[in-house]
Amino acid sequence: MIRPMTIEDIEKVLDIFNDAIINTTAAYHVEPQTLEEKRQWFLAKQKVNDPMFVYEENGEVIGFVTYSQFRPYEGYKYSMEHSVYVDKNHHGKGIGKILLQKIIDEAKIRGVKTLIAVIDSENIGSIKMHEKFGFYFAGRLKNVGYKFDKWLDIVYYQLDIE
């Protein structure tokens, strides 16, 4: 059910991500991405060997997970910020948990020291999911996003990988 993402998956990954852009504060983008933008995202991540996985059910991609270096400086090479997205029609099935476990396992294999989640402060479902995996609250930035005519806070959750 979980496999490496391929360029052929980009259209469905884009659909999932654009739905989050349009309808939620899970992503602070305000305009949907284009297929070409998502292809370039994929190729850039592939070039630096960032892990990218999809969750597939009955031949359909219904979720994805990835991480990339937290900041673009050499000193951050062991700290990764991850993203987990699940198709809105498949929320509540535990797919996000399966994907999160996959990226944690991959981080361990690759020698990552810490995983960082940057979460909208009102996304209680994501916060609770991360806490179940041992992520702990590492900080809050107030009024750093603006979407849907309101100011938004982000919270950082961190997992130290042994």
Residues 3-49 pLDDT 10s: 999 999 999 999 999 999 999 999 999 999 999 999 999 999 999 99
Range of the domain at 15: 2-118
Alpha helices by DSSP H, listed for 51-154, are 95-109, 124-132
Report the C-alpha gap between 66 and 80 in whole angstroms: 10
In a domain, 56, yes or no: yes
Give the pLDDT score at 46. Answer: 97
Residue recorded with tokens 């270096």: 69
In a domain, 144, yes or no: no
Query: The whole model's pTM is what?
Result: 0.96
In a domain, 145, yes or no: no
Residue 56's φ and ψ, nearest 5 degrees, are -120, 135
Q: What is the pLDDT of residues 44-94, one digit of tens each?
A: 999 999 999 999 999 999 999 999 999 999 999 999 999 999 999 999 999
Q: Smallest Cα–Cα separation from 118: which of 72, 77, 71, 75? A: 71
Q: What is the CATH number of the domain that holds 16?
A: 3.40.630.30
Q: In a 3-state reduction of DSSP, which class is residue 37?
A: helix
| Count of domains observed in the chain | 1
In a domain, 84, yes or no: yes
The terminus-to-terminus CA distance of the chain in angstroms comes to: 27
What pLDDT band is residue 162 in, cutting at 50, 70 and 90?
confident
pLDDT reading at 109 higher than 80: yes
Give the pLDDT score at 159. Answer: 98
Q: In a 3-state reduction of DSSP, which class is residue 78?
A: coil
In a domain, 148, yes or no: no
Contact (Cβ atoms closer than 8 angstroms) between residue 55 and residue 61: yes
In a domain, 55, yes or no: yes
In a domain, 65, yes or no: yes
In a domain, 28, yes or no: yes
Alpha helices by DSSP H, listed for 33-137, are 35-47, 95-109, 124-132
**How far is C-alpha 77 from the geometric centre of its chain's CA atoms?**
18
